[in-house]
Structure 1
């Protein structure tokens, strides 16, 4: 029986980016305990702020370590549970591609999509002052990743990069925050067909309070 230190605790809310980490956990197939944090209450409690001072989810606790930020959690879990095969070895040239797309989605994609949704995109003459350049440039580069996913970002090998970057595409198509393009739709279709994706969706959907 695993000791308490080895227990993996997953802090989330079913209506958050925690859905990305839930999917990652289901792909790994490891045991974990879910702690649902509520917006405006437990998420801002002293107990949770001691875990994540940002008062946000997702976060995990594992082996005495706290990891926050969905991309970082996906990368951590892939390395912490290598038997799942969701990260190339450190001496594998594909490790560079894996890092590239993970951090591209966590940086330029996240920033550009959020800025556009809030009406805060810089004017063209100031595009060089932000890390993503322009929304159009970022989406075009994301499409390069989607086109290279044949079927996955690392070729025949599914990885944590598909979970995280693919989630950005999946969410973007669902909420209209990225444009509909054939490469995005095709990749998202392959992702949604995965059993772990479907299990994760069912688990999170079951946690959403019914409207009535």
Structure 2
């Protein structure tokens, strides 16, 4: 297996993947892709037909979609314990909340940000039901603390805290008990700080 190459933009979800790579302490290359013509170019669409970032090449393997990339890396580099093993009972909670963050939560945040109104009688047609129900459910995820799988920080925490932190910063998600502390603890991790500093330093280039 050859090296890791991340295609990203410092003002994108690719920050999550940089954070993940920093948690793993592996060497990787970053190729910055500018929004606009570069990201929609024929050359980049060979990497990702959607014309979006991030995308990760691991040798000859291509992985797109931020949660898929994070989950792949967690399983591919198990030494850092960012995903419970398949036979670990905590794997159930890990998968549950990882997919919840990537599905209902992100959809609910996007809908609220764009002002989409879901009629109550149509709530069962959307994966998140309602915005308030989604946040009520999210609070349950934090009951066992400090992380989704108890004492072990995982890729699911990385992804969830990234989504939640951005949504709170944008004023989309209101403060609820535990939300701010959870995000702050995640963002205080040295790997998160390194990833954010690296992206901030490259905003002018990309």
So what's the TM-score if we normalise by structure 2?
0.96
Compute the displacement of 1:26 (Å).
Answer: 0.7
Residue 146 of structure 1 and its aligned partner are, at CA, apart by: 3.0
Secondary structure in structure 2 of the residue aligned to 1:30: coil
Q: Secondary structure at the match of 1:11?
A: strand
Structure 1: give runs of 5+ residues left out of the alignment.
Answer: none
More moved, 15-24 vs 138-147: 138-147
Candidates 104, 118, 121, aligned match of 1:122: 118
> RMSD value over aligned CA atoms?
1.2
Report deviation, 1:63. Answer: 2.6
Q: State the distance in 2 between where 1:147 and 1:187 align.
A: 11
Structure 1 stretches (4+) deviating beyond 4 angstroms?
none
* Displacement after TM superposition at 1:15 (Å): 0.5
Match of 1:30 in 2: 26
- Aligned-pair distance for 1:111? 0.7
What is the total number of aligned residue pairs between the two structures?
205
Query: What corresponds to 2:52 in structure 1?
Result: 56
What's the counterpart of residue 184 of structure 1? Answer: 179
Aligned partner of 1:82 in structure 2 is 78
Shift of 1:89: 0.6
Structure possessing the higher relative contact order (Cα contacts under 8 Å, 6 or more residues apart): 2
Matches of 1:60 and 1:177 in 2, distance apart?
29
Decide whether the 8 Å contact of 1:6 with 1:63 is kept in 2: yes
What pairs with 1:30-179 in structure 2 (closer than 5 Å)? Answer: 30-148=26-144, 150-179=145-174
Which one has a larger percent helix, Structure 1 or Structure 2?
1
| 1-structure distance, mates of 2:176, 2:163 | 14
The question of whether the paired residues in 2 share the 8 Å contact of 1:12 and 1:35 is answered with yes
SS in 2 for 1:14: coil
- Farther off after superposition, 49-58 or 174-183: 174-183
